[in-house]
């Protein structure tokens, strides 16, 4: 890669990171504002929205972290670098928010029996500021082709809808004085957080247990590899996920081509086709005679 290409890639990385950094700053600021506003106003729905903001702040931070970690070179003791830090953070985030959601639901149920006064003016003002911040974040993130930024954009859209719901609840309380809408909305937001938290944990544990990526069919990967000219078969395939955007493959390739240069051409073509499955690391062992694992692998396929 020449200097011009390296400079261009660096500029592209910076362009992708900038909107994420702005969105993180805005979302984290609104999380703090809504947490304080929720405590002052007594609004559970605002506290629930603050928890939602916390969840998405971490999600945005993980998206940015994935981009930064991808730039760090492996070391002799950390041969895959720091990619798994993302998964550890996701597990901690998921467990934390399950606990927060449980507290909100418990408090909401208690308020049905013991209603509390809510300062709807503070609730409405803070939620409106949150909505404006979410719209600003969505504007910064909109239109990017980077997968991490696209994911962050979807998270911000969820925050926007949550803020709108809190604003509607604040207006309803201000006009009618009926505060029951607040714990009801608090439970709804807490349930949304619970569902997404369990989804995050499920995906994280799939990665930790080295399951095949849920959006990649192993049969399709094998078919793509076997369609390369010169490849007679593929077996002993292991496909797992290193982190949310990097898949890893280990496989034996049955190929009787003896010319080393032709073998390298076949390897390069296989790796090129694996890119369609986001397989960033692959270990390919070429064999002229199928090893004993080939028979076992065929039996497993059948």
213 found inside a domain: no
- Greatest Cα pair distance in the chain: 83
More confident residue, 22 or 245: 22
Residues 163 and 229 in one domain: no
Q: Looking at residue 139, which CATH number applies to its domain? A: 1.20.1510
The CATH number given to whatever domain includes residue 271 is: 3.30.70.1350
Q: Which residue has the higher pLDDT, 5 or 76?
A: 76
The rounded distance, in Å, linking the Cα atoms of 95 and 209 is 18
Percentage of the residues of the chain whose pLDDT score is greater than 70? 84
User: What is the C-alpha separation between 181 and 123, in angstroms, rounded?
Assistant: 13
pTM of the model: 0.71
| Cβ pair 158, 73 in contact under 8 A | no
CA distance from start to end of the chain: 45
Residues 6+ apart with CB under 8 A from 107: 44, 183, 186
The string of pLDDT tens digits covering residues 152-162 is: 777 777 778 88
Residue 40 lies in a domain: yes
Residue 2 confidence class, pLDDT cut points 50, 70, 90: very low
Residue 39 included in any domain: yes
Q: Which secondary structure element, helix H or strand E, spans residue 158, and what is its range?
A: helix 147-176
| Structure confidence by residue, pLDDT tens digits, 163-192 | 888 999 999 999 998 889 999 998 988 888
Strand ranges in the chain using DSSP code E only, listed in sequence order? 233-243, 246-254, 279-287
What was the pLDDT predicted at 267? 92
As a whole number of angstroms, the distance between CA 206 and CA 200 comes to: 10
**56-100: pLDDT as tens digits:** 788 788 777 767 776 666 777 777 777 777 788 778 878 888 888
Q: Dihedral, CA atoms, 142, 144, 145, 148, nearest 10 degrees?
A: -90
Per the structure, the count of domains in the chain is 2
CA-to-CA distance for 113 and 111, rounded, in angstroms? 5
> Cα(107)–Cα(105) distance, rounded to whole angstroms?
5
Is 24 in the same domain as 122?
yes
Each as own residue / partner, the long-range contacts of residues 74-81 (CB below 8 Å, 24 or more positions apart, any chain) are 80/242, 80/281
The single residue listed with the structure tokens 């890893």 is 248
């Amino acid at each position: 890669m020449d200097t011009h290409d390296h400079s261009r890639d660096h500029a592209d990385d910076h362009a992708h990171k900038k909107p994420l950094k702005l969105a993180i700053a805005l979302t984290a600021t609104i999380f703090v504002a809504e947490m304080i506003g929720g405590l002052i106003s007594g609004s559970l729905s605002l506290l629930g929205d603050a928890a939602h903001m916390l969840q998405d702040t971490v999600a945005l931070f993980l998206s940015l972290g994935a981009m930064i970690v991808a730039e760090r070179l492996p070391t002799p003791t950390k041969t895959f670098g720091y990619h798994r830090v993302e998964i550890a953070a996701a597990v901690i985030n998921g467990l934390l928010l399950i606990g927060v959601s449980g507290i909100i639901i418990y408090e909401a149920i208690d308020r049905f029996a013991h209603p509390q006064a809510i300062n709807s003016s503070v609730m409405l003002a803070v939620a409106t500021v949150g909505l404006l911040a979410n719209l600003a974040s969505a504007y910064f993130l909109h239109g990017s082709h980077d997968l991490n930024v696209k994911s962050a954009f979807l998270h911000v859209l969820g925050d926007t809808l949550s803020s709108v719901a809190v604003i509607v609840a604040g207006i309803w309380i201000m006009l009618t004085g009926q505060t029951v809408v607040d714990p009801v909305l608090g439970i709804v937001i807490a349930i949304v957080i619970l569902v997404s938290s369990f989804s995050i944990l499920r995906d994280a544990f799939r990665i930790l247990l080295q399951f095949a990526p849920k959006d990649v069919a192993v049969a399709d990967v094998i078919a793509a590899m076997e369609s390369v000219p010169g490849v007679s078969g593929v077996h002993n395939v292991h496909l797992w996920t290193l982190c949310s955007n990097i898949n890893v493959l280990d496989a034996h390739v049955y190929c009787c081509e003896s010319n080393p240069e032709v073998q390298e051409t076949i390897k390069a073509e296989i790796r090129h086709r694996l890119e369609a499955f986001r397989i960033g690391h692959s270990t390919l062992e070429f064999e002229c005679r199928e090893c004993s694992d080939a028979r076992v692998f065929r039996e497993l396929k059948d």
